[in-house]
Amino acid sequence: MKARERRLGLPPWLREEDPEGIVMSARIRLARNAAEAAFPGWAGNEEGERLGRRMLSVLESLPPLAGGTVLRMEDVGPLERQILHERHLISHELTGKGAGSAVLVAPDETVSVMVNEEDHLRIQGLVSGKDLPALWTAVDALDTRIEEQIPYAASPRLGYLTACPSNVGTGLRASLMLHLPGLRLAGDVEKVVKGLGKLGLAVRGLLGEGTEAFGSMYQVSNQRTLGESEPVIIAHLLQIADEVIGHERRARQRLAETRPGLLKDRVMRAVALLTHARIMSAEEALDLLSGIRLGLALGWVKRLEWPELDELFLLVQPAHLQKQAGRSMGPEERDEFRADLLRTRMAGVEWV
């Protein structure tokens, strides 16, 4: 896995562009299936492996995947699978797949394609910031190139056919990763999450479906894929996301005016614990790093750059941590190693 080892730096989608630290990244994902072929959940092993080989032979030659990394799941160990999941390159479902399933990752990790996950293809684009329209243009171009060589299963009435009915139609999931510590501190985040649900949006945690919003990170995405065009779906998501971003700004301002002690305690406590703790779970580390992000955005944290901070959101996660250590570790040993790493990386950080 030497090609993958050379990649384990900070991916472009995690390189901070938002000075407020609210918008982390944007993602576009398309679900597609080959025409006249059984979906992965219904195909036998032989058919699944045959389809996997066919798709890989097409995908490997297409830009921007050409020159990237092909990882066949039967060749990928448990640690590497978890690293790919932590880097948002594969889904939790693909971590449990075997022969016939794979992922292709572009050299800069902004594009990846999962093969034989829930659907034959899951095409994904992931970038920093919130420019979903530009990301859609890039992913749509790749999707068109693939369809020229692999005709898709589709219906004139329904659109693209997928294994899960919730993806039928466009097969599109557009999402933004938002950092909302102000709303969380103000006690308003649950109200906002419920409101987003009523507006047809889904809210998930840092690692997607079924995960909690550790570090005050919330992934907001569309739920509707049928009956609307991709640009309309994306425009609706952006419109609502801008409202949420506005709520977060106002929450921070209100806290600064009415409860400055709470806001400062959040930042100061994060600096103190990260620079002195000897044991640190992943959940606690993400929560404290969220406090540092807030302090950096407010100008209260000094001698720390955004890329250094954003990298820590990856490095403190279990698989990345073990990769750095070069060995397998139990939970207690990981918590000690994580605390050591954070003390080293945060040494010299100041708050004002």
| H, E, C per residue of 96-118 | HCCCCCEEEECCCCCEEEEECCC
- Residues 216, 264: one domain? no
pLDDT for the residue 8: 63
Q: Is residue 175 part of a domain?
A: yes
Q: Is residue 83 part of a domain?
A: yes
- Residues 231, 303: one domain? no
- Residues 180, 278: one domain? no
Look up the CATH number of the domain holding residue 201.
Answer: 3.30.590.10
Res. 11 pLDDT band, cuts 50 70 90: confident
Residue at token pair 């097969």 = 171
- Residues 144, 77: one domain? yes
**Domain assignment of residue 193, given as a range:** 2-250
Distances (CA, A) of 38 to 41, 43, 44, 48, 129: 8, 5, 9, 8, 37
- Residues 311, 246: one domain? no
Sheet strands (E) in the chain: 23-32, 69-72, 102-105, 111-115, 121-128, 154-155, 159-160, 172-179, 201-204, 217-222, 301-302, 350-351
- Residues 108, 189: one domain? yes
Mean pLDDT calculated for residue range 318-325: 94
Residue 64 preceded by cis peptide, ω within 30: yes
pLDDT greater than 80 at residue 7: no
Three-state DSSP class for residue 186:
coil
Res. 345 pLDDT band, cuts 50 70 90: very high
CA pair distance 115, 117, nearest whole angstrom: 6
pLDDT for the residue 4: 38
Res. 15 pLDDT band, cuts 50 70 90: confident
pLDDT for the residue 5: 41
- State pLDDT tens for residues 206-226: 765 555 778 999 999 999 999
- State pLDDT tens for residues 92-148: 999 999 999 999 999 989 999 999 999 999 999 999 999 999 999 999 999 999 999
CA pair distance 338, 332, nearest whole angstrom: 10
- Residues 280, 151: one domain? no
Residue at token pair 């384990």 = 8
Tokens standing for residue 187: 């006690």
3-state helix, strand, coil in the chain (%, to 5): 50, 20, 35
pLDDT for the residue 12: 81
Q: Is residue 100 part of a domain?
A: yes
Residue of 130, 107, 328, 103 lying closest to 234 (CA atoms): 130
pLDDT for the residue 351: 86
Q: Is residue 153 part of a domain?
A: yes
The DSSP symbol for 153 reads P
Q: Give the Cα-Cα-Cα angle 151, 154, 157 (nearest 5 degrees).
A: 150
pLDDT for the residue 206: 76
pLDDT greater than 90 at residue 9: no
The DSSP symbol for 225 reads -
pLDDT for the residue 101: 97
Q: Is residue 141 part of a domain?
A: yes
Mean pLDDT calculated for residue range 285-300: 96
Give the CA diameter of the chain.
Answer: 64
Q: Is residue 137 part of a domain?
A: yes
- State pLDDT tens for residues 32-56: 999 999 999 999 899 999 999 999 9
Residue of 312, 318, 307 lying closest to 13 (CA atoms): 307
Q: Is residue 25 part of a domain?
A: yes
- Residues 114, 44: one domain? yes
- Residues 207, 266: one domain? no
Mean pLDDT calculated for residue range 274-284: 97
Among 220, 250, 280, where does a domain finish? Answer: 250
CA pair distance 236, 201, nearest whole angstrom: 9
pLDDT for the residue 188: 95
- Residues 176, 53: one domain? yes
- State pLDDT tens for residues 64-93: 999 999 999 999 999 999 999 999 999 999
- Residues 230, 296: one domain? no
User: For 123, phi and psi rounded to 5 degrees?
Assistant: -95, 125
- State pLDDT tens for residues 256-275: 999 999 999 999 999 999 99
Among 211, 231, 250, where does a domain finish? Answer: 250
Q: Is residue 255 part of a domain?
A: no
Among 250, 274, 304, where does a domain finish? Answer: 250
Three-state DSSP class for residue 169:
strand
> Are 324 and 341 spatial neighbours (Cβ–Cβ below 8 Å)?
yes
pLDDT for the residue 273: 97
- State pLDDT tens for residues 155-186: 999 999 999 999 999 999 999 999 999 999 99
Q: Which amino acid is at 24?
A: M
Residue of 243, 201, 195, 197 lying closest to 220 (CA atoms): 201
Three-state DSSP class for residue 205:
strand
Q: How many domains does the chain contain in total? A: 2
- Residues 96, 228: one domain? yes
